[in-house]
Amino acid sequence: MQQRPPSLLGAAAVQAADAVIVLVASVLAGVDTVAGRSYQEGSGIALTLIGIGTAVALAWVAVGLSRARRWSRTPAALTQLFVGIVSIYLLQGHRYAWGVPSLLLACAGMALLLAPASLRALAAPRDAGRPAPQPPPQAKAVPPKTAPAKSGPAKNQPPKPRTPAKPGRPGKRPARG
Tell me what pLDDT residue 3 has.
77
Q: Please tell me the distance from the alpha carbon of residue 116 to that of residue 100, in angstroms, as a whole number.
A: 26
Residue 135 has pLDDT above 90, yes or no: no
Dihedral sign (CA 14, 15, 18, 24): negative
pLDDT at 138: 74
5 C-beta neighbours (distance < 10 Å), count: 19
pLDDT tens for residues 83-104? 999 999 999 999 999 899 999 9
Give the pLDDT of residue 177. 57
Domain residue ranges of the chain, discontinuous segments joined by + = 6-123
pLDDT digits (tens, 9 = 90+) for 30-68: 998 988 887 787 888 899 999 999 999 999 999 999 999
